[in-house]
Amino acid sequence: MFFVDTIEVPGLGNRSYLAGGERTAVAVDPPRDVDRVIAAAARRGVRISHVVETHVHNDYVTGGPELARLTGAAYLVPAGARVSFARVPVHDGDRTEIDAAAGLALRALSTPGHTPHHTSYALEQNGAAVAVFSGGSLLIGTVGRPDLVEPRLTERLARQQHASAHRLAAELPDDTAVLPTHGFGSFCSSSQAEGGDTTIGKEKVSNEALTRDVDTFVAELSAGLDDIPAYYAHVGPLNAAGPAPVDLTPPAVADAEQIAARLAAGEWVVDLRNRVAFAEEHVAGSFNFEAEGQLATYLAWLVPWGKPVTLLAESVGQLAAAQRELARVGIDRPAAAATGEPADWVRDGDKPVSFPRGTFADLADRRPAEGVAVLDVRRDSERAGGYIEGSVHIPIHTLHGRLDEVPDGEVWVHCASGMRAAIAASLLDAAGRDVVAVDDSIDAAGKAGLTVRTS
């Protein structure tokens, strides 16, 4: 008998895995907060004998070195990865015994494309593959991005992705479970597909890498590549160097005077409450990144790397969860934090501030009108599918450095559903702009009577 447990990292759109028999197990692509993996092993009553990486990650800080240290496990990393820490280098074809009693072993399969050194691992029971940990190679309906290492390598890596996908399809049985690390909302995925599980057989009939010839695949893949989160440039080198153990102890408590002082110093004060509560009242100058949204991705993408961040949360639990999520992307220690509500976070004599929210129907009622501007903060690829006539386009991840490009007057800011619009509205509000956050689905724009263009 064997098991495979999935450890979800939903905020980043990733999965890690724990697989083994009755006595020992292997952890695959573990997250920074390794206590979750250790707890999974404890529930199974197994010892983690091996920790493996499919590649050096760009989108999250690995917990591999720390997990291996804490458990005494062998740490397996692709031999071609340029890292500066001790590890067991893995070569194509290497076979590693995981649980002898269960007949479990891992077989390394070189699958370059997402990175030049990318390696997948077939989980074999008594010599027969039952699953493959495909990392950023073969995903559900797609493959991992080939453009994260070096732009000049993108085409070559895209062709390697195609070949790697075909290798897995050719060498593994159709009923082999495909267990990718990326592809559940991660920006490491070249596109997003529906579904939470798949097999080699299913991918043969649905995956773009397996249903298109290499030239068509490379052309379509390259044309569809989206923006790369800025923090990837920092996380990759951090993983190559070997990240330090995570520290999730509570940050220093900030009172109202300290919050004001940090704002005055130009530091980022981030309010984790939901966007409705933030719009109704918040500390002037603070930014809104919802704890329940893609907090780590967007905060790490937008904040100047290394700038101190103070977190404001409605509860100790919300703060702890946010701190854990941010540690996964290299924002290790908040400068300070406070819990409660805006009235607790402003100095005596000051009051919280607010800005209005609206729908696309409300926007339609305001247009055309002089002094009313529409700001679209979606990515280029999203806007290409349709945009509101006359709107100004500044993607959310570039807005903080382009505030001077936002038209004067009353600014109605929208995204696709409301989360990013709330972030953008908070940036504009902090800059003293007259802003309305559109908290609505973009699908409602045309229905509301707004003119939607596609070219």
Question: What would the pLDDT profile of 340-392 be if each residue is shown by its tens digit?
Answer: 999 999 999 999 999 999 999 999 999 888 899 999 999 999 999 999 999 99
Average pLDDT over residues 225-246: 94
Between strands 309-313 and 336-339, the pairing is parallel
Task: Decide: 153 and 116 in contact? Cβ < 8 Å.
Answer: yes
In this prediction, residue 192 has a pLDDT band, given cuts at 50, 70 and 90, of low
Average pLDDT over residues 442-450: 96
Q: Give the whole-angstrom CA distance, residue 93 versus residue 387.
A: 50
Q: Give the whole-angstrom CA distance, residue 197 versus residue 199.
A: 7
Average pLDDT over residues 188-193: 72
Residue type, 397: H
DSSP 365-407: HH-S-TTEEEEE-S-HHHHTT-EETT-EE--HHHHTT-GGGSP
Task: Decide: 450 and 363 in contact? Cβ < 8 Å.
Answer: yes
In this prediction, residue 52 has a pLDDT band, given cuts at 50, 70 and 90, of very high
Distances in Å between the Cα of 204 and the Cα atoms of 134, 209, 212, 224 are 15, 9, 11, 21
Q: Give the whole-angstrom CA distance, residue 446 versus residue 145.
A: 33
Average pLDDT over residues 423-428: 98
Distances in Å between the Cα of 276 and the Cα atoms of 64, 319, 353, 418, 425 are 38, 18, 13, 10, 12
Q: Give the whole-angstrom CA distance, residue 164 versus residue 158.
A: 10
- Residue 113 pLDDT more than 70? yes
Tell me the pLDDT tens digit for each residue of 87-100: 999 999 999 999 99
- Residue 279 pLDDT more than 70? yes
Q: Give the whole-angstrom CA distance, residue 225 versus residue 15.
A: 22
pLDDT value for 196: 79
**Helices 295-302, 316-327: crossing angle, 10 deg rounding:** 60
In this prediction, residue 186 has a pLDDT band, given cuts at 50, 70 and 90, of confident
* Of 26, 23, 22, nearest in space to 179 by CA: 26
Which tokens go with 110?
Answer: 């070189």
In this prediction, residue 293 has a pLDDT band, given cuts at 50, 70 and 90, of confident
Between strands 88-90 and 74-78, the pairing is parallel
Average pLDDT over residues 234-238: 96
pLDDT value for 81: 97
Q: Give the whole-angstrom CA distance, residue 96 versus residue 88.
A: 11
pLDDT value for 193: 61
| Beta bridge pairs of residue 358 | 438
**Helices 214-223, 154-171: crossing angle, 10 deg rounding:** 130
pLDDT value for 183: 84
pLDDT value for 106: 98
**Helices 295-302, 419-430: crossing angle, 10 deg rounding:** 40
pLDDT value for 268: 98
pLDDT value for 11: 86
pLDDT value for 194: 63
- Residue 433 pLDDT more than 80? yes
> Which residue blocks in 271-341 are alpha helix, DSSP H?
275-280, 295-302, 316-327
DSSP 196-219: S-EEHHHHHHH-HHHHS-HHHHHH
Q: Give the whole-angstrom CA distance, residue 21 versus residue 353.
A: 57
Which tokens go with 136?
Answer: 């950023």
Question: What are the phi and psi torsion angles at 174 (to 5°)?
Answer: -60, -30
> Which residue blocks in 177-315 are alpha helix, DSSP H?
200-206, 208-211, 214-223, 232-241, 256-264, 275-280, 295-302
In this prediction, residue 185 has a pLDDT band, given cuts at 50, 70 and 90, of confident
